[in-house]
Amino acid sequence: MGISLIAGVATVTLPNIFHATLSLVAALLGIAGIYLILHAEFLAVIQVLLYVGAVVTLIIFAIMLTEGISNKTIAQRNKLGPAAVGGAVVFLAALWGVIRSTPWPIQGGTSENSYATLASLAGSLLGDYIFPFEVISVILIAVLIGAIVIAKKDSV
């Protein structure tokens, strides 16, 4: 968890966007490690395949296709840091309040019905949640096409 936290802070504070993306990889791998500790091996594999494998690769391609990204005249920082920290503190306080006030039922026993199986996850993903699953894939393709169009427009 500490690796994920440190890498997450590095992701939002590093001035070089490529280095920030590499920190994002470390944060996402740390989250996959947390899933492994929680015995959610399927989620850990999906975390690595989808986020580290696909989304970060898409971000790296977008960075590489953008001309002038390493130009020293482009401002790497903005003046919204204190406002972002304030917003994060308010969000974490609200989240903590919700966590503290929510009754969390504890399910006892170790029956097989209390755990999600791979078949039930696949049935839900390809049954009830097929539309959001497909929308996410269309959005990722649109992002890649948008990055190519932006990079192509600058070079013409």
Cα 25 from Cα 102, distance rounded (Å): 32
Position 129 scores a pLDDT of: 86
Sketch the domain layout of the chain as residue ranges.
1-52, 119-156
Position 76 scores a pLDDT of: 61
**DSSP per residue, the chain:** -HHHHHHHHHHHH-SSHHHHHHHHHHHHHHHHHHHHHTT-HHHHHHIIIIIIIIIHHHHHHHHHHSTTTT-TTS----S-HHHHHHHHHHHHHHHHHHHHHS--PPPPS--GGGS--HHHHHHHHTTTTHHHHHHHHHHHHHHHHHHHHHHHHHH-
- Among 129, 123, 116, 132, CA closest to 43: 116
Prediction pTM value: 0.58
Position 14 scores a pLDDT of: 86
Top pLDDT among 51 and 7 is at: 7
Position 154 scores a pLDDT of: 56
Residues 67-113 have pLDDT tens digits of 666 666 666 667 887 898 899 999 999 999 999 998 877 665 555 55
Has residue 62 got a pLDDT over 60? yes
Top pLDDT among 135 and 116 is at: 135
Q: Check: CB of residue 144 under 8 Å from CB of residue 62.
A: yes
Position 116 scores a pLDDT of: 67
Has residue 115 got a pLDDT over 70? no
Q: Check: CB of residue 19 under 8 Å from CB of residue 9.
A: no
- Return the ∠ at Cα 139 (arms to 22 and 14), rounded to 5°: 20
Has residue 38 got a pLDDT over 80? yes
Q: Check: CB of residue 147 under 8 Å from CB of residue 65.
A: yes
* pLDDT band at residue 54 using 50, 70 and 90 as cut-offs: confident
Position 72 scores a pLDDT of: 64
